Homo-oligomer: A and B are copies of this chain.
Amino acid sequence: MRTYLDCIPCFFRQALEAARISTRDEKLQKEVLDRVSLKVPEFPLTATPVEMGEIIHKIIKEVTGNHDPYKELKKLYNEKALKYYPKLKKLVKDSSDPLLMSIKIAIAGNIIDFGPTSNFDLDKSIEEAVKGDFAISDYDVFKDLLNRVNEILYIGDNAGEICFDKILVEELIAFGKKVTFVVREEPIINDATMEDAIFCGMDKIARVISSGSKAPGTIVSHCNKEFQQIFFNSRFIISKGQGNFETLSDFELPIFFLLKVKCPVIGRELGAKTGDIILRLNPNFRKTLNNKR
């Protein structure tokens, strides 16, 4: 997905928020914004917003010297999310369609995000996702394709959220699938890294790999060879959250995007609105699929 002009004010909003989490020194916060400013004119709108995210957080790390400003918040939300585990497992168990319920739960966890929005209510998100309908749902194709594959590549998004992903991963394993779960290489905002996967025990049930990404998304060309190889050979990919959607939507691969819409730009791109929950097969792959039929 390209960058829209509406993303530019939002870059500054996010940069300021992250700078404030990284340092209390207003001069350093201003220096972050100044350095981001100088990057804007050379940033092409053809790039994805995540690429600017990577630049911004690199600047913040350089200016403040704080390489993991969200460390405490990530820990807090991992612990918080893990407490929901028994309740969420019960929701799945009691559901008439456990797979669908576990997908909804995984999307509910996507509310834990310090990028596009830092105000969130986890209980409300769970309730809405569980009770509510998808704004866009390709669940039928999801089930159909799932029956034809043995392996699933699951590209995670945030810390905290990863404990909710575990519910869906367990459900996929119960369906006899082998899951490879992907985390970021380095701390970036509150995105999940290997440490978070280990915290929630994802490594006990699935193979966990790093994509090599240091960005709040998956810029495939910047990823490591191992990830690239698995990615391009995958027959079933689950992509969580906006950052992964922004960076993966242009590939003609069987990617299901599971996310909560957090900004009007993504909403417009998807034909949905802020707050909507989405399960969508990559439109670029759907075209290929339809042409083949």
A149 at interface, CB cutoff 8 A = no
Q: Does residue A222 face the partner (Cβ distance < 8 Å to B)?
A: no
Q: How far is the CB of A276 from chain B (nearest CB, A)?
A: 21
- The interface size of chain A toward B, counting residues with CB under 8 Å, comes to 19
Per-position binary interface string of chain A over residues 1-41, scored 1 when its CB falls under 8 Å from any chain B CB and 0 otherwise: 00001101110110010000000001001100111011011
Contact A16–B8 (Cβ < 8 Å): yes
**Within the complex, what minimum Cβ distance (angstroms) separates A41 from chain B?**
4
- The verdict on A30 contacting B5 (CB below 8 Å), with A37-B38, A38-B38, A40-B37 known, is yes
In the complex where A33-B40, A34-B41, A40-B37 touch, is A12 in contact with B16 (Cβ < 8 A)? no
**Chain B residue with Cβ nearest A15:** B9
- Whether A45 is near chain B, meaning CB under 8 Å from some CB there, is yes
Residues of B within 8 A of A9 (CB): 9-10, 12-13, 16
Known contacts: A5-B29, A29-B5. The answer to whether A41 contacts B45 by CB under 8 A is no
Which residues on B sit within 8 Å (CB–CB) of A35?
41
Residues of B within 8 A of A12 (CB): 8-9, 12
Report the bound CA distance from A9 to B37 in whole Å: 10
Distance (Å) between the CB of A232 and the closest chain B CB? Answer: 33
